[in-house]
Amino acid sequence: MIEASKLTEEFGSLVFNDKVMRERLPKDIYKAVHKTIEKGTHLELEVANCVAATMKEWAVENGATHFTHWFQPMTGLTAEKHDSFISPTDDGRVIMEFSGKELVKGEPDASSFPSGGLRATFEARGYTAWDPSSPAFIKDGSLYIPTAFCSYGGEALDKKTPLLRSMEALSNEAVKLLHLLGYEDVNRVNTTIGSEQEYFLIDKEYYKKRKDLLFTGRTLIGAPATKGQEMEDHYFGVIKPKVSAYMHDLDEELWKLGIPAKTKHNEVAPSQHELAPVFETANIAVDHNQLTMEVMKKVADKHNYACLLHEKPFEGINGSGKHNNWSVCTDTGMNLLDPGKNPGENTPFLVFLMAVIAAVDEYAPILRLSVASAGNDHRLGGNEAPPAIISIFVGDELAEVLKAVEEGSAYQSAGKVQMAMGATVLPHFTKDNTDRNRTSPFAFTGNKFEFRMPGSSVSVANANIVLNTAVAEEVAKLYEKLAPFKGEELKAKIAEVLKETLVAHKRVLFNGNGYTDEWVEEAAKRGLPNLKSLPDAMPYWISDESIELFTKHGIFTKEEIHSRYEILLENYSKSVHIESLTMQEMVRKDLTEGIVAYEKDLGKEAMQKKSLLGDKAATLEISLLKKLDDASFEMSKALEKLAEDTTIAEEKTDALDTAAFYQSTVLADMDELRKYADQAEALIPDKYLSYPTYGQMLFSLR
Ligand code: ADP
Ligand code: MG
């Protein structure tokens, strides 16, 4: 356990961070690496050799025997292949070696990773390339080197490469515009992300007994417990002692890896929790979020829990998301989304705010797609998570500022309002200018935007790739319009362009309750897309508009876009396919076993009673038997239908057609089957079931 007084020393103790580099690398080498990290310049082999040797020395001192290039292929998980540092010598001993070449480049067999047709199977070769901007770290006795992953032909096969490209694109466009606005000292603009991670903890023993959780991450059958989340007593509730021990251990593991875990609390649903880190540069934040998810599972196992990261593990109970807090900050320390004291006069703020508004409106379908997955589709649109319609909440103060922009009037800040709580012992503090709106998918929260649609299990890379690129494009458009002007003329033009952009895109602004039916109607009137599922949204990914956007900014080639289209659709269909098979098996074997055993006992009991007490006896048993029989009759019909439709799906070939069929037919069949399965399960005492019920799983944490 880390002592509180040692925390600052222990933080990042397993990370080859700037401090370690400064202490251990020769000055000129340290400077060269820094230049690469800051400016993206090429790293000479000589420098790489020196860094590798130092890294190895440090890693071995800290207990590592192996190294691995760590990357994020399109599977959604991370991948690693470990090599040891040992190298045999002539006299039969070994020495520990690690060269610059091994640090900079790896050659994993790429043939088992999804490529969406980018790589012919005979071209199995793929490359991993060191990302020096995300620090290496030690985990489980290996030195982990964050890398990008591409094919033999140089096409990106991962999530990091396009993310880095999008950060650069946004930086380039932003710097141009800032120079025009007079901020000539800005050289670079950084995307920052803080991703809040939601998760469920359940007893490991329960987890192991449920095939649906084991194979698909979510429960596919299960009658609701008599208590759900209606009392809302779990939110911010006292953290139970065992859970608290888990969270403590988790924090420590994360801190050692240099991950700034900051906030922890219970969420709305029973057994659901959240962890929020302090924000970091986008690509490091994404790496750290991937690591956080891994460590969460590992530490859970140690504490006899299973950590569920699926977007919708339990029906009828809130699902889990990953709020993506996003901002842009200059290398001179200016947060471009910070309104400051007088937002009405803050030109960089207004210009970037307008670029975000335009980007979100213009590219809403692609933004929606960036968070689409089989799992997240169950969450979006339920009255617990943002709707599938994308809108922006700006809050009262900004709404006033925007009104002034549109009317060309001067905005007078009301200033901070003092909060009076009516008891003199309580401290006085100022009130925030915006209240929270939890129903908005894209909310301004003081000095950043919070994109609330990402699901809990996915990498946030996708969402940020789209966000960065779309904003880069709008910033570029604003620049084009403003570039010919100078001085007073420029000032007047800025006001005009801001107004024009606002008028064109204000339909996306919505401060009301996003969960209501009225909003769905209103949004349709405004022409805002409502893309309910991944197959609905997918065609937008390969639209001309999307290809134009991504190719213009060098984020994806047309081929890379198409490959991602294939991969996403295939992943979707595979996920639903596995769910269907798992559900069929659970119903056919596990649930049926319970039904049969209980029916047998009920039948025996009824017969006995009748023979003892006559025909009128055993009414309860017979009525239960009848209900159970009715439910299982419907259940068996629905089971057959699901099996038949799944076979039809298996035979389909076109990727979009297949995914659409899984969505419209197979998932609907599963809903129908679940209805009767749950009716049956609700009648059966727990002891007849070989798997744990909702009540047991959700209310057993101590
Ligand atoms: P809430 O629960 O209200 O959404 P939290 O405090 O749990 O708020 O989370 C806010 C998140 O936003 C944290 O991860 C925080 O580090 C992050 N954040 C704060 N400022 C920025 C910024 N400039 N850029 C990106 N993320 C930020
Ligand atoms: Mg949040």
pLDDT in tens, 202-254: 999 999 999 999 999 999 999 998 887 777 777 778 888 899 999 999 999 99
Residue % of the chain over a pLDDT of 90:
79
Closest ligand 1 atom, residue 263 Cα: 7
Q: Is 198 in the pocket of ligand 1 (CB under 6 A)?
A: no
Structure tokens at 656: 């979009």
- Residue 76 reports pLDDT greater than 90: no
Q: Is 575 in the pocket of ligand 1 (CB under 6 A)?
A: no
In this predicted structure, what is the pLDDT of residue 418?
A: 58
**Please, what is the Cα angle at 270 between 265 and 271, to 5 degrees?**
65
Q: Kindly report, residue by residue over 575-602, the tens digit of the pLDDT.
A: 999 999 999 999 999 999 999 999 999 9
Q: Which residues contact 6 (CB under 8 A, 6 or more apart)?
A: none
In this predicted structure, what is the pLDDT of residue 21?
A: 96
Structure tokens at 499: 């107004």
Over residues 491-500, the mean pLDDT reads 96
In this predicted structure, what is the pLDDT of residue 199?
A: 97
If phi > 0 it is left, if psi is from -120 to 50 it is alpha, else beta; for residue 92 that is left
pLDDT band at 507 (very low <50, low <70, confident <90, very high): very high
Ligand number nearest CA of 326 is 1
Q: Kindly report, residue by residue over 438-447, the tens digit of the pLDDT.
A: 789 999 999 9
In this predicted structure, what is the pLDDT of residue 520?
A: 93
Choose which residue among 192, 254, 279 to substitute to test ligand 1 binding: the one with the highest number of ligand atoms within 8 A of its C-beta. Answer: 279
Q: Is 447 in the pocket of ligand 1 (CB under 6 A)?
A: yes
- Residue 428 reports pLDDT greater than 70: no
For atom 11 of ligand 1, the residue with the nearest CA is 194
All structural domains of the chain, each given as residue ranges with its CATH number in brackets, are: 4-158 (3.10.20.70), 159-196+322-416+428-553 (no CATH), 201-219+232-320 (3.30.590.10), 571-698 (1.20.120.1560)
CA dihedral sign of residues 448, 362, 570, 109: negative
Q: Is 321 in the pocket of ligand 1 (CB under 6 A)?
A: no
| Angle, helix 619-651 to helix 558-585, in steps of 10 degrees | 150
Q: Is 533 in the pocket of ligand 1 (CB under 6 A)?
A: no
- Residue 121 reports pLDDT greater than 60: no
In this predicted structure, what is the pLDDT of residue 424?
A: 63
Closest ligand 1 atom, residue 325 Cα: 26
- Residue 122 reports pLDDT greater than 70: no
Over residues 117-122, the mean pLDDT reads 62
Centroid of ligand 1 to alpha carbon of 75 (angstroms): 28
User: Contact 139/14 with Cβ under 8 angstroms?
Assistant: yes
- Residue 655 reports pLDDT greater than 60: yes
Q: Is 598 in the pocket of ligand 1 (CB under 6 A)?
A: no
Centroid of ligand 1 to alpha carbon of 460 (angstroms): 15
**C-alpha to C-alpha distance for 646 and 631, rounded to whole angstroms:** 22
Centroid of ligand 1 to alpha carbon of 194 (angstroms): 5
Over residues 458-464, the mean pLDDT reads 96
Q: Kindly report, residue by residue over 352-382, the tens digit of the pLDDT.
A: 999 999 999 999 999 999 999 999 999 987 7
Closest ligand 1 atom, residue 194 Cα: 14
Centroid of ligand 2 to alpha carbon of 641 (angstroms): 41
For atom 17 of ligand 1, the residue with the nearest CA is 194
Cα-based distances in Å from 566 to 95, 531, 533, 560: 46, 19, 16, 10
Q: Which residue has the tokens 């009673």?
A: 609
Over residues 25-53, the mean pLDDT reads 90
Closest ligand 1 atom, residue 335 Cα: 23
CA 291 to chain centre: 12
CA dihedral sign of residues 624, 625, 628, 633: negative
Centroid of ligand 1 to alpha carbon of 365 (angstroms): 25
Q: Is 277 in the pocket of ligand 1 (CB under 6 A)?
A: yes
- Residue 397 reports pLDDT greater than 60: yes
| Angle, helix 544-552 to helix 461-482, in steps of 10 degrees | 80
Ligand number nearest CA of 322 is 2
Centroid of ligand 2 to alpha carbon of 325 (angstroms): 8
For atom 7 of ligand 1, the residue with the nearest CA is 276
Cα-based distances in Å from 357 to 79, 502, 517: 36, 8, 24
Q: Kindly report, residue by residue over 280-294, the tens digit of the pLDDT.
A: 999 999 999 999 999
The type of residue at 121 is T
Q: Kindly report, residue by residue over 138-165, the tens digit of the pLDDT.
A: 999 999 999 999 988 888 999 999 999 9
The type of residue at 194 is G
Q: Is 278 in the pocket of ligand 1 (CB under 6 A)?
A: yes
Closest ligand 1 atom, residue 278 Cα: 16
- Residue 6 reports pLDDT greater than 90: no
In this predicted structure, what is the pLDDT of residue 414?
A: 63
Q: Kindly report, residue by residue over 254-280, the tens digit of the pLDDT.
A: 999 999 999 988 888 889 999 999 999
Q: Is 584 in the pocket of ligand 1 (CB under 6 A)?
A: no
Widest pairwise Cα distance in the chain:
103
In this predicted structure, what is the pLDDT of residue 186?
A: 97
Q: Which residues contact 339 (CB under 8 A, 6 or more apart)?
A: 346, 349, 397, 398, 401, 447
Closest ligand 1 atom, residue 193 Cα: 25
Centroid of ligand 2 to alpha carbon of 450 (angstroms): 7
Q: Which residues contact 506 (CB under 8 A, 6 or more apart)?
A: 357, 402, 406
- Residue 675 reports pLDDT greater than 60: yes
Structure tokens at 445: 């929260």
Choose which residue among 190, 325, 435, 442 to substitute to test ligand 1 binding: the one with the highest number of ligand atoms within 8 A of its C-beta. Answer: 325
Q: Is 263 in the pocket of ligand 1 (CB under 6 A)?
A: yes
If phi > 0 it is left, if psi is from -120 to 50 it is alpha, else beta; for residue 602 that is alpha
Q: What is the mean pLDDT of the chain?
A: 92
Closest ligand 1 atom, residue 195 Cα: 14
Range with lowest mean pLDDT among 11-15, 72-76, 549-553: 72-76
Range with lowest mean pLDDT among 97-111, 200-214, 248-262, 676-690: 97-111
Closest ligand 1 atom, residue 337 Cα: 23
pLDDT band at 610 (very low <50, low <70, confident <90, very high): very high
In this predicted structure, what is the pLDDT of residue 565?
A: 95
Q: Is 444 in the pocket of ligand 1 (CB under 6 A)?
A: no
- Residue 423 reports pLDDT greater than 70: no
Closest ligand 1 atom, residue 329 Cα: 23
In this predicted structure, what is the pLDDT of residue 42?
A: 82
Residue % of the chain over a pLDDT of 70:
96
Q: Is 690 in the pocket of ligand 1 (CB under 6 A)?
A: no
Structure tokens at 424: 């003199």
- Residue 417 reports pLDDT greater than 80: no
Centroid of ligand 2 to alpha carbon of 658 (angstroms): 35
Centroid of ligand 2 to alpha carbon of 296 (angstroms): 19
